[in-house]
């Protein structure tokens, strides 16, 4: 059961990363990959419930869409980068809180 959840989260996140040629902002993508790895690790170690993992994965997809939109005009401004950084900081905080909330998986 655990491997099925991990595989579905990984495949969803991989599809998001591969779509739209998102390799332009390597720093942003490195952080995105790290956060996705933290989610997968949380599922694997039963620190995250399925619903928590799904919600966190959706948040990562949202951030990826913001990045795609920011880069769509060919310019990735400091303001857009700052907004993505704030979103990633918030997502990182959400991952930490969900992994450490002592909630048991059913």
Could you tell me which residue, 32 or 102, shows the higher pLDDT? Answer: 32
Specify whether the CB–CB gap between 78 and 32 falls below 8 A.
no
Among 77, 83, 37, 76, CA closest to 62: 83
pLDDT at 68: 94
Q: Is residue 56 part of a domain?
A: yes
Within a domain: 106: no
104 assigned to some structural domain: no
**93 or 15, which is more confident?**
93
Q: Which residue has the higher pLDDT, 17 or 59?
A: 59
pTM of the model: 0.71
- How many domains does the structure of the chain reveal? 1
pLDDT greater at residue 17 or residue 30? 30
- Could you tell me the residue range of the domain that residue 21 belongs to? 2-99
CB distance 16 to 72 below 8 Å? no
Is residue 20 predicted with pLDDT exceeding 60? no
């Amino acid at each position: 059961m655990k491997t099925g959840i991990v595989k579905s989260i990984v495949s969803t996140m991989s599809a998001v990363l591969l779509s739209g040629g998102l390799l332009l902002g390597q720093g942003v993508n490195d952080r995105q990959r790290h956060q996705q790895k933290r989610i997968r690790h949380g599922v694997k170690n039963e620190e995250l419930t399925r619903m928590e993992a799904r919600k966190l994965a959706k948040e990562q997809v949202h951030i990826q869409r913001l990045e795609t939109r920011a880069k769509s005009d060919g310019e990735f401004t400091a303001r857009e980068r700052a907004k993505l950084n704030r979103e990633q900081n918030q997502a990182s905080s959400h991952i930490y809180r969900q992994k450490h909330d002592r909630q048991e998986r059913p």
